Amino acid sequence: MESVKSKLSTMWIFATFNYLYCDVVTLMDRNVLKEFLGGRVGGVDVTQGFLLGAGMLVEIPMAMLLLSRLLGRRVNRLANVAAGALMTIVQAGTLAVHTPTPYYAFFSAIEIACTAAIVWFAWTRLAVGPVPAAGRVERATVLS
């Protein structure tokens, strides 16, 4: 179980670094930087509410770095599937809003693949099997 938690946390680290570096590269794009400085990017006003929403969105994968290691199997599975699915949908949605630059499409493909892999990994590796009834002891069979 610990190995699964560690792998999920590592996958979230990978996704988070890709999100953050894509944002850094975006700020190197002079056209987008001009829009940011003008307070309107891609037709969206960069307000305090927008920035709060963006901060909350990027907090999800960062929180999952920690939660993947701390949560029990059932809640961990649910949290990773939900967070991974949400981040996959959001990232895919950003590609549909406008024609992406090549660097943005590149990072998005990696981010979508990573968060979709998190969903699959959490779903398959954190599957919860039946729990033995209380007080019931399973006997091992001995082969002679």
The predicted structure's pLDDT at residue 126: 86
The predicted structure's pLDDT at residue 59: 97
Q: Which residues of the chain have pLDDT under 70?
A: 1, 128-144
The predicted structure's pLDDT at residue 1: 64
- 18, 63, 108, 128 from 75: Cα distances, Å: 26, 14, 27, 10
Which amino acid would we find at residue 92?
A: A
The predicted structure's pLDDT at residue 142: 47
The predicted structure's pLDDT at residue 27: 92
Structure tokens at 59: 């907090």
The predicted structure's pLDDT at residue 144: 43
- Rounded CA-CA distance 84/82 in Å is 6
- Rounded CA-CA distance 70/62 in Å is 13
The predicted structure's pLDDT at residue 134: 53
- Rounded CA-CA distance 123/116 in Å is 11
The predicted structure's pLDDT at residue 127: 82
The predicted structure's pLDDT at residue 141: 46
The predicted structure's pLDDT at residue 43: 84
Sequential DSSP letters for 72-109: -HHHHHHHHHHHHHHHHHHHHHHHHHSPPPHHHHHHHH
